[in-house]
Structure 1
């Protein structure tokens, strides 16, 4: 070993010891990460919405809330995999819900960490998970109608993973739960896509997860290690079930219908979807399709159900944040609230999430850095889920373990310095979509025409008219920027 190599070795060792001492002493910030399934970027503090989210609105008063946050993939498992690894999908397998179940769960612990949670754990953090953080409802790998296994979906990320399945018995039963203890599977899908029950918050699984989180926060307070606590709430994912008190927040006949309830103009049906997940709840009074719109009355019923479920999830967030404050952990805990993707509530004649349109890709993201409350604001810059990994690693004072696709948002949060390129890239249905400040440009790898779609968010924020053919000059201007997000996923 040369003198230079020896010096570099001992310098690296010294930095590692210094980092370990810092994390062990508890000077690193704790991280509370709350993932909310199917939560659109339509929160009370943004205005122009009827959804009531008072607790998220209160959090936003001391946080940066990102109005233009976009996920990489509009489906649960793939979106979470991309966010957790800080990388865009490069293989078709990375667009499926089972990517972590099929691949992450069987990998040996490599030098490259499986997720940013794993990287935090390697650098002195105690990592605890509750509920749906990856794709699994309870952290284990098994099918919807199978017995719970002992195979972990993320075997190297967690020191501890908890879930209370209550009367539903398993995580997946709880995920599709109804208040009487039944679930979508047990009822052979002979269920409605909604439910209003005369129960309190503990009458559904998210209430049980919230109580676990509160109990765990009390335990973690006494630890010397900084902690990462991940809490995954199910609602407002289908079925849209919630205690009646949250339904009572809304007058159904006053709920507004989608501004763009028809299929977009100049678009192939291949870009859309038949709302099959929604229609899988077979006792629904009406079925959604690309040929028939729901009646206004039923559309209001379903939006009412989604709103109630979102308000129920919001209430759980409030309980967790109240406990964080009561334990005096608030001043040294970063808080992140993240929606894993959006959801069409009748827009583009769709009830679901599996598209490359704004409604499916735009989801909630709120980040609070303790001591930076004066920087609180609604931020309009374009950001992506892959930005979360580098942001948290920088805030934790930990080196980045490998080249990430995302860009840290710390400068944007602390000093309003916008990302170098305000772009977001999303992948699905044989297509790649670029979102920049004004336009969304989507290019599909398929035979059905048109393969290029262009939407002007200045004149058409509802994405109701594809103007690509009318404005080829704008398409040509944006294609080089679009190409930067082309990972070659559909060309292999």
Structure 2
């Protein structure tokens, strides 16, 4: 019955039985992209290319990542597993769990699974944690050790004048980077020059070239393209800054620490403050000035608009090469980001600001877009893509395929997403977020009602003990033991 239903759904999504095994995948990873896009309701942002794509795609309005830090978030998405060991919570999760390990002794990424099933796999830029897919320290020359050794037929990067992927990741337009300038840099820059004055423009150009090559290859492909921005530093060419009137950019609706919350649930924005030339230093003791907050949000928005333009180049190349008729396209942000929300500038919390990110998917047969309000997790992406491509997974992942939601958003679905960080586990339901921390600082339990408090400004756990007890049953299902039982 399930096989028959899947076949019907795939036909509804534009897949013929003969072509089902031959769908290509273009997977676009965007670093630190919270759902600040026009298609997600942000009326201030300029994101015309992604918004145009969204008009014919499924836009997941409630997609949550598993871990709010780059490497661990991508590890969970690529392998389909929640963290069960502390290594899975760190940025070097894939380096520790996958790099240098023989097959059978490590988690397998869905890219590796596609490759074993006949796909030609290419990665460009940051797909795993490493900026160019290779394992080496920030200030060292690039090594020859792949972070995901069995996933790629080709792992590519044009680092330009910055020479290595990590230098390019923290790039400034003059060819310097955060490391070479010993952190004495601002957390933003309006650069001179065109799109290729920064590394993401080079990545887009390389991806456009590769799409042309893949179009004549007699083999289905997976092309992963990882853009750096809007990760810090918020650098973009001047023309993207010019799209905004800084004085009209709104400030956060969450200007302080949420009520009944211990500051231990947040953090003092250490990553942000590593950009030492910033005009002001954030603190949990009080906000930065409104003028500086607008400057930083302006910088973030400009970086998003810059990446939107690069995404537009890829989508145009897909169509120009006739690949749009046979390619699944995914746009995914690896986690959210606090833009001064709750006094934080950064990710690394298990609040909505840090966990909710963009996810858009278009199959070749989609002609109209849809907003999907169901709660999904990034671990669901692996089984979903495998089902769309007719490829079996070698193991049972923690995720579930949401192919039925693509055809009918009202289909029965579990509507739960689990996330892990800061000695805490949180579960998101359609209405609530319940969080429990394994720590001494009280309170250790937080409950937010998104129907009455969409920005999580008040922890109501102490006021709703019966509701906490009820929701704790769902929370327990996500307790993998990573912090203890």
Q: 1:462 aligns with which of 455, 480, 484?
A: 455
Q: 1:93 aligns with which of 80, 87, 100?
A: 87
1:445 and 2:438 correspond: yes
Residues 432 and 399 of structure 1, relative CA distance in 2, 3 Å threshold: same
Quick one: distance in 2 between partners of 1:190 and 1:356? Answer: 30
CA drift at 1:220: 0.4
Q: 2:333 aligns with which of 339, 346, 366?
A: 339
| Partner SS for 1:106 | coil
Contact kept? 1:24, 1:224, Cα under 8 Å:
no
Q: 1:362 aligns with which of 349, 356, 360?
A: 356
Quick one: distance in 1 between partners of 2:126 and 2:52? Answer: 24
1:197 and 2:191 correspond: yes
Quick one: distance in 2 between partners of 1:491 and 1:343? Answer: 27
Quick one: distance in 2 between partners of 1:234 and 1:243? Answer: 14
Residues 471 and 196 of structure 1, relative CA distance in 2, 3 Å threshold: same
Q: Determine the structure 2 residue equivalent to 1:3.
A: none
Deviation string for 1:119-138 (max 9, x for gaps)? 00000000000000000000
Please report the RMSD computed on the Cα atoms of aligned residues, expressed in angstroms: 1.5
CA drift at 1:415: 2.3
Contact kept? 2:32, 2:336, Cα under 8 Å:
yes
Contact kept? 1:407, 1:419, Cα under 8 Å:
no
CA drift at 1:28: 1.1
Contact kept? 1:339, 1:364, Cα under 8 Å:
yes
Q: Determine the structure 1 residue equivalent to 2:45.
A: 51
1:302 and 2:283 correspond: no
Give the 5 Å matches for 1:251-270: 251-270=245-264
Q: Determine the structure 2 residue equivalent to 1:435.
A: 428
1:323 and 2:296 correspond: no
Q: Determine the structure 2 residue equivalent to 1:150.
A: 144
Structure 2 unpaired stretches of 5+: 1-15
Q: Determine the structure 2 residue equivalent to 1:384.
A: 377
Deviation string for 1:94-150 (max 9, x for gaps)? 000011112311101228762000000000000000000000000100000111111
Q: TM-score, normalised by structure 1?
A: 0.94
| Partner SS for 1:141 | coil
Quick one: distance in 2 between partners of 1:420 and 1:259? Answer: 31
Contact kept? 1:43, 1:53, Cα under 8 Å:
yes
CA drift at 1:373: 2.2
Q: Determine the structure 2 residue equivalent to 1:4.
A: none
Quick one: distance in 2 between partners of 1:52 and 1:483? Answer: 41
Contact kept? 1:112, 1:402, Cα under 8 Å:
no
1:125 and 2:98 correspond: no
Q: TM-score, normalised by structure 2?
A: 0.95
Quick one: distance in 1 between partners of 2:159 and 2:178? Answer: 15
Quick one: distance in 1 between partners of 2:42 and 2:29? Answer: 24
Quick one: distance in 2 between partners of 1:27 and 1:484? Answer: 34
Quick one: distance in 1 between partners of 2:57 and 2:118? Answer: 26
Q: Determine the structure 1 residue equivalent to 2:28.
A: 34
| Partner SS for 2:235 | strand
Quick one: distance in 2 between partners of 1:419 and 1:41? Answer: 25
1:481 and 2:482 correspond: no
Q: Determine the structure 2 residue equivalent to 1:206.
A: 200
Quick one: distance in 2 between partners of 1:76 and 1:311? Answer: 21
Residues 183 and 111 of structure 1, relative CA distance in 2, 3 Å threshold: closer
| Partner SS for 2:251 | coil
CA drift at 1:42: 2.1
| Partner SS for 1:469 | helix
Residues 26 and 476 of structure 1, relative CA distance in 2, 3 Å threshold: closer
| Partner SS for 1:242 | strand
Contact kept? 1:409, 1:419, Cα under 8 Å:
no
Q: Determine the structure 2 residue equivalent to 1:136.
A: 130
Residues 122 and 24 of structure 1, relative CA distance in 2, 3 Å threshold: farther
Q: Determine the structure 1 residue equivalent to 2:234.
A: 240
CA drift at 1:421: 1.0
| Partner SS for 2:374 | coil
Quick one: distance in 2 between partners of 1:303 and 1:241? Answer: 12
1:279 and 2:266 correspond: no
